């Protein structure tokens, strides 16, 4: 497990939540700190973000210790 700041530390966040390392990397690849602070500071909000929703659907059937590189989406 890794600790994710719901609101990034650089934006004044203090609260952390445990997340799987591959999910943590996917969150930070998909969203900027400003987006995390403004629109995606909850687990529910993160699940609604299209890139993360696709990632979650893909990773859902993987083993708990599954790791794979994450890539920044093409924009």
Give the chain's domain count: 1
Residue 18's φ and ψ, nearest 5 degrees, are -75, 135
Q: What is the pTM assigned to this prediction?
A: 0.83
Q: Give a yes or no: residue 22 inside a domain.
A: yes
Q: Give a yes or no: residue 37 inside a domain.
A: yes
What are the beta bridge partners of residue 18? 3
As a whole number of angstroms, the distance between CA 10 and CA 37 comes to: 10
Residue-number span of the structural domain to which 49 is assigned:
2-59
Each residue's pLDDT expressed in tens, for the chain with a length of 75 residues: 999 999 999 999 999 999 999 999 999 999 999 999 999 999 999 999 999 999 999 999 998 888 877 666 655
Q: Give a yes or no: residue 71 inside a domain.
A: no
Q: Give a yes or no: residue 55 inside a domain.
A: yes
Q: Give a yes or no: residue 49 inside a domain.
A: yes
Look up residue 29 and give its two tokens.
């690849």
Q: Give a yes or no: residue 39 inside a domain.
A: yes
């Amino acid at each position: 497990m890794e600790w994710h700041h719901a609101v990034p530390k650089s934006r004044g966040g203090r609260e952390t939540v445990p997340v799987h390392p591959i999910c943590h990397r996917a969150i930070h690849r998909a969203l900027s700190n400003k987006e995390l602070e403004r629109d995606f500071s909850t687990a529910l909000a993160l699940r609604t973000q299209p890139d993360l929703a696709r990632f979650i659907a893909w990773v859902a059937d993987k083993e708990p210790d599954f790791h794979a590189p994450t890539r920044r989406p093409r924009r």
